[in-house]
Amino acid sequence: MAVTETTITERLALTVVLLTSIFIIGTVGFHLIEGWDLLDAFFMTLITITTIGYREISPLSKAGKIFDMFIIFMGVGTTAYGFANIAKFIVEGEIRSILGRRKLDKTITRMSEHYIVCGIGRIGSLLWKELKSAGKPFVVIDNNREAIGPVDEDNSPFIFGDATKEDTLIKAGITRAKGLIATASSDVTNVYITLIAKELNPNLFVLARATTEDSFKNLKRAGADKVISPYLIGGRHMANIILKPTVVDFVELASGEKKEGYYIQMEGFKIRNGSCLIDATLKNSPIREDIGMIVVAIKNASGRMIFNPPANQTLCENDVLVCIGDQDAFDAMKKLVKAKKT
């Protein structure tokens, strides 16, 4: 069974306490037994415990020799005990670090349909926490050890490296990934990340962060599927809070924010091949009556969005149902869309 860091730390603290006690006992003992002043008594204790091998301050009496042997056994034993714990702390720490990294690399290698978050700033930190909270697989990339520290401490998958390098993105499993989010602080860096990511995986969905209008256009040209300006969104959101407070409250509620005891979510559910919902209408399906889910829109295979679909709307393969409901309704809906037609 491996010794924990806390246990080793406690042992090191115990070693310090024991050595301090031995120094005090030795200094006082030599002072009383041999009549030396405190400095000479402390010096004698020091050379005894460290086994330096200097001569005694002055010839020891019989009682002084017995006391000196006691200090040797206690001091040398305690020092050896302390060094052993220090060595174990260093060796086990290195082993844990190596094994932990290998385990993390294997985890990333097995990932597919995951998201890659490039850059851990204020936006990136929020993103990986939201992805983890939603139970989505992800890998974080950053070349700043201090920034990536919280991800490491959380035991979440990460790669310490430059996201503008092909090798780093390949190591993050970009060819198997579902999406990439470029949230580096530099717009130029985000453009490079987008270009390389799209070259390695043309089907990858890329969401990029932009701070200026020119960067917005450049990221679109680089192949980003969606470009977001946090400053623009923040400004609009603040304006809407003033102009449309009720609408904002509903949107925040639908995005999963708990408010005044209510907690609803909004999400899209895709109808895949063989689903029991294919060719059914909203009225005949259990979506509204049995599950209690509200279908606010349907996005069909061509990309056309049908808002507030009627009850006789026929559901087709590859339709995406944009729904609002509570957690129980969401759990039931996830099972329903996976159910096969009998």
Picking from 305, 315, 279, 308, the residue whose alpha carbon sits closest to that of residue 294 is: 308
Picking from 223, 183, 218, the residue whose alpha carbon sits closest to that of residue 202 is: 223
CA–CA gap between residue 159 and residue 104 (Å, rounded): 9
Instruction: Give the per-residue pLDDT at 232.
Output: 76
Of all residues in the chain, the percent with pLDDT exceeding 90 is 26
178-197: average pLDDT: 93
∠ CA 117-122-124, nearest 5°, is 5
205-216: average pLDDT: 88
Instruction: Give the per-residue pLDDT at 320.
Output: 93
60-107 tens-digit pLDDT? 888 888 888 888 888 888 877 777 777 766 665 555 555 556 667 788
Residue 180 has pLDDT above 90, yes or no: yes
Please, which pLDDT band fits residue 3 given cuts at 50, 70 and 90? very low
Residue 201 has pLDDT above 70, yes or no: yes
Q: Which residue has the higher pLDDT, 7 or 80?
A: 80
CA–CA gap between residue 9 and residue 15 (Å, rounded): 10
Residue 258 has pLDDT above 60, yes or no: no
Q: Name the pTM for this structure.
A: 0.55
Which range among 54-58, 103-107, 135-139, 285-289 shows the weakest confidence by mean pLDDT? 54-58
Residue 227 has pLDDT above 50, yes or no: yes
Show the domains of the chain with their CATH numbers: 5-106 (1.10.287.70), 112-234 (3.40.50.720), 263-338 (3.30.70.1450)
Q: Cα Rg for the chain, rounded, in angstroms?
A: 33
31-51: average pLDDT: 85
CA–CA gap between residue 36 and residue 19 (Å, rounded): 21
140-169 tens-digit pLDDT? 999 888 888 888 888 888 888 899 999 999
Q: Give me the chain's average pLDDT, please.
A: 83
235-252: average pLDDT: 78
- Cβ atoms of 272 and 301 within 8 Å: the answer is no
Residue 56 has pLDDT above 50, yes or no: yes
Strands of the sheet with 305-307, listed across from one edge = 265-270, 320-325, 294-299, 305-307
308-342 tens-digit pLDDT? 999 999 999 999 999 888 888 888 888 888 888 76
